[in-house]
Amino acid sequence: MKRALAFLLLAALPCAGGCAGMDVVSAASVAAKGVSKAVAASRPISDSEEYYVGRSVAARILATYPLVQDSRLTLYVNEVGLAVARKSARPETFHGYRFAVLDTPEPNAFACPGGIILITRGLVATCDNEDQLAAVLAHEVAHVANKDGVNSISKARWTEVLTAMGTEAARQYAGVAGNLVTLFEGSIDDVFKTIVVNGYSRSAEEAADRDAVATLTKAGYDPQALAQLLSKMMAKEKGGTGGIFKTHPPTSERLAKVKAEAGAGPPPKDEAVRSQRFQSLKI
């Protein structure tokens, strides 16, 4: 996507040596060539395109919330995040999963398309142990694996983006390049509003919870950890209107379903060691 945008912007520049000798292509010819190209516009977003959209969405979030300047905490969150990502339904992305902590007491987490996952200092502080932190990150990884972010992009808008990229007009008329940038920014808006303002659909959240429980089990974490964290968050939900409470379904509804998914059983091995490691780094 980045190379395509650069190509279109370069193509929009005036001819350095003059264009008098260039054959003039009629508008009808351009349109005819564009028809076959437009058919490809129905294809889904590629992994590389998803990555660039996600990186742009992450940049917008970082314009509001600064990163925590704690390299040990950042490394630790990445280690836990990668541990669950490897056991998820999508263990690899275009440029890999990356995790970071936002410096705000607001409890929240954001799964940007392509694998950039941001969790707030407030949500880390809400967790009691590493297993609960892993549960949060597994839930966000599930959103990436299920492509919930890119699926929120208006299909009509993405069709316009791909059509503009594929037509002969994109290489011959300056207006198309500017229009493509506008359309691409609109796609980012779609994802940003879904993640930060409106939240995913109830079915998407339920699927992410269900997948998180399965991932925790495969990664050796306590599958009940997500239910434990949701139980703790229920008390905060009564007085909380922002952050994760604004963009997620009622915690009580999620809790009942997660408990059913996780079942009952003894805690996994090394839970005490993980809890001690978490407490030594928790802020």
Please write the tens of the pLDDT for every residue from 70-114: 999 999 999 999 999 999 999 999 999 999 999 999 999 999 999
Q: What does the DSSP assignment read for 224-241?
A: THHHHHHHHHHHHHTT--
Q: What is the pLDDT of residue 217?
A: 94
Query: Given pLDDT bands bounded at 50, 70 and 90, which one contains residue 263?
Result: confident
Please write the tens of the pLDDT for every residue from 38-82: 444 456 788 988 998 899 999 999 999 999 999 999 999 999 999
Please write the tens of the pLDDT for every residue from 17-28: 333 333 333 333
Q: What is the pLDDT of residue 79?
A: 97
Residue 246 structure tokens: 């604004």
Residue position matching structure tokens 């995913």: 200
Mean pLDDT of the chain: 78
Paired with 67 in beta bridges are: 102
Is the model's pLDDT at 203 over the cut of 80?
A: yes
Mean pLDDT value across residues 239-260: 68
Compute φ and ψ for 116, nearest 5 degrees.
-90, 115
Please write the tens of the pLDDT for every residue from 110-167: 999 999 999 999 999 999 999 999 999 999 999 999 999 988 887 767 666 666 665 5
Domains annotated on the chain, with CATH: 65-149+200-281 (3.30.2010.10)
Is residue 201 helix, strand or coil? coil
Residues 6+ apart with CB under 8 A from 140: 109, 110, 111, 117, 119, 208
Residue position matching structure tokens 């945008």: 5
Residues counted in the chain: 283
Q: What is the pLDDT of residue 24?
A: 32
